[in-house]
Amino acid sequence: MKTGLREKLKWLRKPDSTPATADNTRATEPDRPGWFIPQKAESLLATPLRRQLMKIIWQRTSVSAALFAELYQTPVARFAVLAQQLPASEYHHHAYPGGLLDHTLEVMAFAAKLRQRHLLPAGAAPEDQAREAEAWTAGILYAALLHDAGKLAIDMEVTTGENQLWYPWQGAPAGPYRLKYRKGREYALHPVAGCLLATRILPDSALNWLAQYPELMASFLYCISGQYERAGVPGEVVQEADRASVAQYMGASAGSVLDNPQPSLAKQILTALRELMHTRYRLNNPQSGSDGWLTADALWLVSKATADNVRAWLLQQGVTSVPDSNIRLFDEMQSLGLIIPTTEGKAIWTCDIQATGGWSPGRPLTLLRVSPERIWPDADGRPPVFDGRVSPLSSVPEQPQACGDAPAMSPVDPGTGTGGDLLSELTLSLFSGTDDHTAPQASMTPPSGSEEKHIAGDGLLTVVPAETESQPPPVTEVNPPVPASITPPVAACSGQNFTDWLREGLLTRKILINDRLARVHMVEGMLFLVSPEIFKLYVQSTTGSTGDEWMLAQKAFQKLGLHHRGVNNINIHTCQIRGPRRNSRVKGYLLTSPEQIFGESIPEDNPYLSVLEEGSGTAT
């Protein structure tokens, strides 16, 4: 006799001591700026965006309304009264009041979509998979709900009106509260702390349900403890959903817009600068080089290193709209008001630096000048000023202008909403039949006029030159050490580093495969790497550089001997792309042993690609 899900849960339930919502709210507004009034779950979840996300989650879970209320609405309500108006991050994604709740619901919605690609538990008999399907769906969504809950306990310091610290295991704040982020917090700790709140957020009946399936329970516990690498498919789904929400907020996917408008390029660059300042950059070193120097009225940043690091950080977040050229990036930053120009209206300052203790780089540096208020809105959060002087020189080198004037763009308030019909259309487009869950990448077909360089069988470069962009006059510059989190170009030229990056990117789906925009495809059982685009993406993603370092990475990869050599020892092969209206061709490397990259989970071939026979021009 088949037992329904509701009947199965009846004997698992027992009285639950955790309240679903908090009644400790006040209707009046706080008298002091920066303070928030606690709200009930019903009010917190009543925004159009959150209602729509809950609707999408319900549609993806395929349970009745009554069962959805018990299994999903109750845990979400409990989380909402803890998250209140707290942001998801200090400067990065969803960094606005209520951002943590928005981000969490987005991750749940993405996870509900991604879960449908998997038959779980993997390898089980079909009848077992059918019987356990809803439990595995719930386990994944519960893990998504808790994935950032640890931030409430680890990253934030919440103070109540009685000047008492509030902790999430105490329940909803009893009165007005304010927030500040803990300095020197350990960023890797909050994923581990999610397990602290599991029993407060999830009903006992839900935990009893998951516990009936040991494999599922183990995976769930690994997820909420931050051990995603041991969590199997649920861990992969939650991580991918998290990245999708972050990339969407950062403006990486125009087709995946939700209620919050896409941030402008100005906000994306400003977010990158703030993140670099708080997590990677070293300022004001009095005895050797630094990434920058903070004075009383300006933050001075080494120009080229900053441009490369900003570009690399944005690419790592899935943002592809950042200019490839440093010249254009500087012009964008200047036109967007992110940097202070010289008296001649140029972006680059040439300065002498002298520490009080005697250290000096020995030559002028080319720097960007940023207002400290843009990086640290709270003056109390700024580091001490540089013990020395930064002196702009009167002679400023001529800076070439980028082609075309970039229009000024204003930062967008992330809390701004859209109309109801548009909201529904955009939100539902997130979860359409297509699987556009990865940030878009440049087309695999090189644009007309771009240079195309390949390494021939003898290791020499064959170059088809394109129109080159004007370069600024040489200025002597001392570059500080590049932060460890952004690999320097020398390391980027390692063939093993490239294959490790490729393997990790494909595993985590940061790198597209078999897509119209992808640089990686499966064709006739072989892995096809579009060249040189895949190597350019690698160098830009790891170093931020847009120069010719990709050629060294390509040559280093070729020396590994993983690729297939054709007639006359050629390295580069041509594939034909069959489109709906016309055919085109693309060049790259063929790897005859894709298991070296994918392991046992080798994707299917791209049906639109075929390898051209060498010398014949016909597809095999």
Radius of gyration of the CA atoms of the chain, in A: 27
Q: 527: exposed, middle or buried (C-beta count within 10 Å: 0-12, 13-18, 19+)?
A: buried
pLDDT (tens digit per residue) in 261-311: 445 677 788 888 988 888 888 898 888 888 899 998 899 999 998 998 888
Q: Quick one: pLDDT at residue 609? A: 86
Contact 386, 295 (CB under 8 A): yes
Q: Which residues pair with 179 in a beta bridge?
A: 158
Single-letter amino acid, residue 176: P
pLDDT at position 227, please? 87
Residue whose token pair is 């993406």: 537
Q: What is the pLDDT of residue 492?
A: 52
Peptide bond into 481 cis (omega under 30): no
Give CA–CA dist 283/384, Å, rounded. Answer: 9
> Within the chain, which residues score under 70 in pLDDT?
1-31, 251-264, 318, 320, 395-493, 579-581, 614-620
* 168-212 pLDDT per residue, tens: 999 999 899 999 888 877 777 888 888 999 999 999 999 999 999
Do residues 535 and 553 make contact, with C-beta atoms less than 8 angstroms apart?
yes
Reading the block at residue 98, the tokens are 């209520």
DSSP annotation of 446: P
Cis peptide before 532 (omega within 30 of 0): yes
Q: Is the dihedral of CA 113, 114, 116, 117 positive or negative?
A: positive
Identify the pLDDT of residue 269.
87
- Measure the CA–CA gap between 83 and 416, rounded to whole angstroms: 20
Phi, psi of 397 (to 5 degrees): -65, 145
Q: Which DSSP string corresponds to 409-428?
A: -PPPPTT----HHHHHHHHH
250 and 262 Cβ atoms separated by less than 8 Å: no
Check if the beta carbon of residue 182 is closer than 8 Å to that of residue 157: yes
- Residue 435: the pLDDT is 39
- DSSP code per residue over 190-220: TTGGGGGGHHHHS-HHHHHHHHTSHHHHHHH
Q: Containing H/E element for 307?
A: helix 303-316
Instruction: Report angle CA 382, 91, 98 to the nearest 5 degrees.
Output: 125
**Rounded (10°) angle between helices 533-543 and 303-316:** 110
Written as one letter, the residue type at 516 is R
Alpha-carbon gap, residue 221 to 382, rounded angstroms? 38
Q: What's the burial of 126, exposed, middle or buried (CB within 10 Å: 0-12/13-18/19+)?
A: exposed
The H-or-E segment that residue 181 falls in is strand 177-181
Q: What are phi and psi for residue 342, nearest 5 degrees? A: -75, 175
Residues 148/88, Cβ–Cβ less than 8 Å:
yes
| Those residues with Cβ within 8 angstroms of residue 589's Cβ, 6 or more apart along the chain or in another chain | 528, 529, 531, 557, 558, 563, 564, 571, 572, 573
Entry pTM: 0.46
Q: How far is CA 134 from the centre of its chain?
A: 29
Question: Percentage helix, strand, coil, to 5, in the chain?
Answer: 40, 10, 50
One-letter amino acid at 531 equals S
Whole-number pLDDT of residue 123? 81
- CA–CA gap between residue 102 and residue 58 (Å, rounded): 16
